[in-house]
Amino acid sequence: MSRAFNFSAGPATLPEPVLLQAQSELLEWNNAGASIVELSHRGPEFIQVAAEAERDLRALMSIPEDYAVLFLQGGATAQQALIALNFANPGQTVDYVVTGHWGKTALKQVKPYVNANIAANGEADGFRTIPARDTWALSKDAAYVHYTANETIHGVEFRDIPDTGDVPLIGDFSSSIVSEPLDVSKFGVIYAGAQKNLGPVGVSVVIVKRELLERAGQPRAEIFDYRAHVKGESMLNTPPTWNWYLAGLVFKWMLAEGGVEEFAKRNDRKSKLLYSVIDNSGGFYRNEVATAARSRMNVPFFLKDEALDKPFLKQAQDAGLISLKGHRALGGMRASIYNAMPEEGVQALAAFMQDFQQRHG
Ligand SMILES: *Cc1c(COP(=O)(O)O)cnc(C)c1O
C-alpha cells in the first residue's frame, strides 16, 4: 500500500497519525467496549471527546471566553444561511464583500431573508485581486459585514483582517482556519466547514461572540437558532459524532506539532515554494492572482499549453501526486496545501513540475 500526496481541495488529505489513531480505536474506543461512533452522544465517553475537542480548539486558536464554540451539521453553506437568520433583524441590511466563488455562494444563501448589499466585488477583475478596503461601499447600519478569508477556488486570500469599525465582521474561514495565528477578538463570527483544514466533512465549527447571540434575528425554527445550539452545547439533536471525534484528533495532532505558529511557518514555506516554481517557469506555468492576494492554502495554476493538462495530470498521478485537477469553474490545475499536506508533498510536486517542464517546455 502507498498513500499518495493528495492535493484535493476538500474533502482533503488528513494527517496520517490521525487516521492511524482512528483506525486503532475504530473497534473499541478507550476500553469502552464499543467504537466511539457507536455510543450515545450523551454518554460520558462522547461527552469527554466533545469537551476535549472544544478545549483543544480554544487552546489552538486562543479563543476568548466571551466567544461560544459550536460543532454543527450542515456544512459551511448552511452556516451562510443561518448567519442572516440569526444576526440580521427583519429589514436590516447586511454587507457582503465578494472575492470569489464562495463569497457569491454566501450572498445567495441570504438573499431570501435579508437585503444584502454588495460592498465590494472582485468579479470584474476575474477575482484576481482583493478590492482595496477604502473602495468598499459599506452600509450605514449594516447588521454585519461578511467576507471570505480564503477563496478556495480562486486562490485569493486576505492577508489581514479588514477593519469594519463597530459593525461585526463575519469571516468564512472554511479553507484557512487554524493555518496561522488569528486574532479572534476582531470578529463577530468565524465559521468553517471541517473538510479542508479541520477534519472530515460533516461538521462545521462556528465561533460566535456571545453578545451577538442576544440579537433577535429573523423568525426561525429552534434547530436554526445559534442561541439554542449554544444552550444545548451543540446537541439539540444528534451531532455528527464521528466527524467531531476526528476533528478532535486533528486538534490534538496540531497542538503536538507546535500549534498554529508552527503551521503558519510550514504553510508559508510550502506556498512560497510552489509560487516560486510557477513564477520562475518563464510562463510555462502561471498563476494570475495579484501577488499580495495569493492564497497560502489553494494554489490554482495553468499550463501554457492546455493540451498538456491531461498528460500533466496523468504523469502526476503516476508519480504519486493526486487530485491536482482545477475546479471546473476555472479549469487548469489547483494544488490545495492545507495543514495536513506535509512539506515533502509540496517539494515532490515542485520537483515534478520542474521535471515536467523540462520534458515538455
Ligand atoms: C468548501 C467551502 C464552502 C462550502 O462548504 P460546504 O461544507 O460544502 O458547505 C464554503 N466556503 C468556503 C471558503 C469553502 O472552501
Distance, in Å, from the CA atom of 303 to the CA atom of 185, rounded to the nearest integer, reads: 41
User: CA nearest 207: which of 180, 181, 234, 232?
Assistant: 234
In the prediction, which pLDDT does 27 show?
A: 98
Distance, in Å, from the CA atom of 162 to the CA atom of 168, rounded to the nearest integer, reads: 11
For ligand 1, the distance from its centroid to the CA atom of residue 76, given in whole angstroms, is 5
Residue of the CA atom closest to atom 2 of ligand 1:
174
Distance, in Å, from the CA atom of 126 to the CA atom of 124, rounded to the nearest integer, reads: 5
Count of other CB atoms within 10 angstroms of residue 283: 9
186 pLDDT higher than 90: yes
206 pLDDT higher than 70: yes
For ligand 1, the distance from its centroid to the CA atom of residue 78, given in whole angstroms, is 9
Determine if ligand 1 sits within 6 Å of the CB of residue 93: no
Plot region of 283 (φ>0 → left; ψ -120 to 50 → alpha; else → beta): left
Contact between 215 and 86 under an 8 Å Cβ cutoff? The reply is yes
Q: The pTM is what?
A: 0.98
- Residues classed as catalytic: 102, 172, 196
Percent of the chain having pLDDT more than 90? Answer: 98
1 pLDDT higher than 80: no
| Domain architecture of the chain: domains with CATH | 17-256 (3.40.640.10), 259-360 (3.90.1150.10)
Averaged pLDDT, 335-343: 98
Q: How many residues does the chain have?
A: 361
User: CA nearest 217: which of 266, 267, 144, 150?
Assistant: 144
Residue of the CA atom closest to atom 7 of ligand 1:
75
- Structure confidence by residue, pLDDT tens digits, 243-296: 999 999 999 999 999 999 999 999 999 999 999 999 999 999 999 999 999 999
**Best residue among 71, 127, 151, 175 to mutate for probing ligand 1, ranked by most atoms within 8 Å of CB:** 175
Distance, in Å, from the CA atom of 357 to the CA atom of 361, rounded to the nearest integer, reads: 5
Determine if ligand 1 sits within 6 Å of the CB of residue 77: yes
What is the CA 279 to chain-centroid distance, rounded? 26
Q: What is the DSSP letter of 214?
A: G
**Burial environment of residue 54 by CB neighbours within 10 A (0 to 12, 13 to 18, 19 or more):** buried
Residue of the CA atom closest to atom 3 of ligand 1:
76
- Structure confidence by residue, pLDDT tens digits, 80-110: 999 999 999 998 999 999 999 999 999 999 9
No. of helices (H) and no. of strands (E), the chain: 9, 14
The secondary element (H helix, E strand) that includes residue 351 is: helix 343-360
Determine if ligand 1 sits within 6 Å of the CB of residue 193: yes
In the prediction, which pLDDT does 361 show?
A: 87
In the prediction, which pLDDT does 2 show?
A: 87
